Structure 1
Amino acid sequence: MSDLSFDLFWSFRSPYSYLATPRLRKIGEEYDVTINVRQVYPIAVRIPGFFKTVNPMWPPYLLTDTARIAEFENIPYGWPNPDPIVMDLASGEVPKDQPYIHRLTRLGVAATQAGKGIEFLSEVSRIIFGGDTPQWNEGSHLADATARAGLDLAELDAKIEADPDAYEKIIEENEAAQRAAGHWGVPLMVFEGEPFFGQDRIDLLVWRMKQKGLAARK
């Protein structure tokens, strides 16, 4: 069994994270490598005031680019309803009261602790960004996606409610490790200290790991 592994820094508000996940999950299934999923909060809450200073051309380009990537990769895609981050898109104001992202991110940590990190990201981001699940936060959508990942949503929620600070500490540690790796964005893959930022760097990540002995699972 290989001892190769890489860290994956990932956010539930990042469409690029969502678009990278099918390929990353496939890598974990096809190659003898461990994916260390490390949840971080979206840049909207991780860097206060970010969207007040960002170039106004960036958000429209992001929407165009992500839709293009989804079409090219044949991945279902649509902007989330509701958005995991509640904010005023016109002003860039992000209120402190966030009803979705804290639970989602903590759930990602709990799923990773249960050994189903990449599966949880894959299934849950699909209902958020897949374009065909309006009001993903209502009904049984989240519970069903969690079940498809091999986990029980109520059990994960109960673990988090028992000690929410422990999960926040892990998220803070992940964010510190992300900065130490040399980049602030997601998805960020880090292999042996070398950062690979963005879904368009996955091929380079695999190439580098193959140089270090990455092999197909038997």
Structure 2
Amino acid sequence: MTLTADLYFSFRSPYSYLAIGRYSELSETHNVDIALRPVYPIAIRDPDILFTNALQGRYIFIDSARSAQMLGTPYRWPRPDPVVQDMMTRKVSDEQPYIYRLTRMGQAAQRRGKGIAFADEVSKIIWSGEVDNWHEGDHLAEAVKRAGLDLDELDAEAAARTEELDAEIAANQDALAAAGHWGVPTLVFEGEPFFGQDRIEMAKWRMEQKGLTKR
């Protein structure tokens, strides 16, 4: 028996990055198919409520870095940030050349059944610190290739089917809310949400109660 689950994910979320590799590994080693459900980050969906408390941003920077250190996961805040934003004033730019492209391609990858692999490989080049200017050269193309996909094909679909993909992304956000949460990463299994990169073992435990087995 193969179980199914949905992973709600943002390419701007450090915690999504810290979770995606482990969820990808879980889907490879165990009989569970995890569908990627990309959503736009709160900075895009509702920038007025982003970091309303000045301490929020500082805490996230500190906690994400130490979480990565504890996990032994390579980590650095992206260069460039997937969301163009002045971190001093918290103002989000009207021009967003990265996050729309990434999120739409993530949805297009999921259409092909490779959403988790796409998110895993692309997140590594954005967040690991192993490359600068992840958006330039062949970094992104090579990451997409490792996921078994073609960057030009995904880009073409993201450009030609923008409205369709954005409608699917909006539906992902609605489904996340319907499951009882608002943040990412959240895995939803049989209607139960597991929020955060520190809930992966709990999600696995619940799946094991429902018959999760190794492949």
Please, what TM-score do these two structures have when normalized by structure 1?
A: 0.96
Conserved in 2, the CA contact under 8 Å of 1:39 and 1:174?
yes
For residue 67 of structure 1, what is the amino acid of its counterpart?
Answer: A
Q: Is residue 68 of structure 1 aligned with residue 66 of structure 2?
A: yes
SS of the residue corresponding to residue 57 of structure 1 reads helix
Unaligned runs of 5+ in 2: none
SS in 1 for 2:203: helix
Gapped regions of structure 1 (runs ≥ 5): none
Question: Runs of 4 or more off by more than 4 Å in structure 1?
Answer: none
Give, in angstroms, the shift of residue 73 of structure 1. 1.2
Picking from 79, 93, 98, the partner of 2:77 is: 79
| Whole-angstrom distance in 2 between the partners of 1:185 and 1:153 | 28
Matches within 5 A, 1:57-206: 57-206=55-204
**Equivalent position of 2:19 in the other structure:** 20
- 3-state SS of 2:91 partner: coil
Q: Given residue 42 of structure 1, which amino acid in structure 2 is its aligned partner?
A: P
1:34 paired with 2:30, answer no
Q: Confirm or deny: 8 A CA contact 2:7 2:188 kept in the other structure.
A: yes
CA deviation after TM superposition for structure 1 residue 121, in Å: 0.5
Q: 3-state SS of the aligned residue for 1:6?
A: strand
Displacement of 1:52:
5.4
Shift of 1:51: 2.4
Asked if 1 retains the 8 angstrom alpha-carbon contact of 2:8 and 2:172, the reply is: yes
1:49–1:93 CA contact under 8 A, matched in 2: no
TM-score (ref. length: structure 2): 0.97
Secondary structure at the aligned position of 1:5 is classed as strand
Aligned partners of 1:113, 1:169: CA distance in 2, in Å?
13
Q: Does the 8 A contact of 2:2 with 2:212 survive in 1?
A: no
1:43 pairs with 2:81? no
CA RMSD of aligned residues (A): 1.1
Task: Find the aligned partners of 1:66 and 1:160 in 2 and give their Cα distance.
Answer: 30
**Structure 1 residue 39, shift from structure 2 partner:** 0.5
Question: Is the 2:6–2:188 contact (alpha carbons within 8 Å) kept by the matching residues of 1?
Answer: yes
Using the aligned pairs only, state the percent identity.
53
Q: How many residues align?
A: 215
8 Å Cα contact 1:52/1:91 also seen in 2: no
SS of the residue corresponding to residue 9 of structure 1 reads: strand
